[in-house]
């Protein structure tokens, strides 16, 4: 079984990219979630930074409604990618391939109750 469910904050503006042209164009988005992960032995809060990628309708939703600092819940699966960098070294990456997202109340940055949908494009 390969299921991932996370809740965290977007660490920077989502990176939307298009591949192909016209009807054949495909959009994808990459973003990082900061996930609280308990406390260490000294009592300091630990944070995990999880790389995520999404395709299709999820891209449109993120592009329109999600900004840096927003709280987001995602579900998907864990995938491993590898490629050769410009120095000829293999680079290995693990990320969450997001299938579903849930926009959560943003109490940290938006206590006014304003409509998030009006913030983007």
Q: What is the mean pLDDT of the chain?
A: 87
- At 18 the pLDDT is 87
Instruction: Output 92-95 pairs: Cβ under 8 A, ≥24 positions apart.
Output: 93/51, 94/51, 95/30, 95/50, 95/51, 95/52, 95/53
Residue 108: band (very low, low, confident or very high) from pLDDT cuts 50, 70, 90:
low
Residue where the block lists tokens 């609280």: 36
| Cβ count within 10 A of residue 82 | 9
Report CA-CA distances (Å) from 62 to 41, 80, 105: 36, 23, 15
CA 71/CA 58 separation, integer angstroms = 15
Residue 92 token pair: 């290995």
Tens-digit pLDDT profile for residues 40-98: 889 899 999 999 999 989 999 999 999 999 999 999 999 999 999 999 999 999 999 99
- Pairing of β 45-55 and β 26-39: antiparallel
First to last CA, the chain: 38
At residue 118, does pLDDT exceed 60?
no
Max distance between CA atoms of the chain, in angstroms, equals: 55
Residue where the block lists tokens 């390969």: 2
């Amino acid at each position: 079984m390969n299921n991932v469910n996370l809740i965290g904050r977007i660490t920077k503006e989502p990176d939307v990219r298009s591949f192909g042209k016209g009807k054949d164009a495909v959009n994808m988005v990459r973003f990082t979630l900061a996930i609280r992960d308990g406390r260490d032995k000294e009592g300091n809060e630990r944070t995990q930074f999880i790389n995520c990628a999404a395709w299709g309708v999820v891209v449109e939703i993120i592009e329109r409604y999600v900004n840096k600092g927003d709280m987001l819940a995602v579900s998907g699966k864990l995938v491993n990618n590898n490629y050769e960098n410009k120095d000829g070294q293999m680079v290995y990456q693990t990320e969450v391939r997001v299938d579903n997202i849930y926009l959560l109340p943003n109490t940290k940055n938006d206590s006014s109750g304003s409509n998030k949908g009006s913030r983007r494009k």
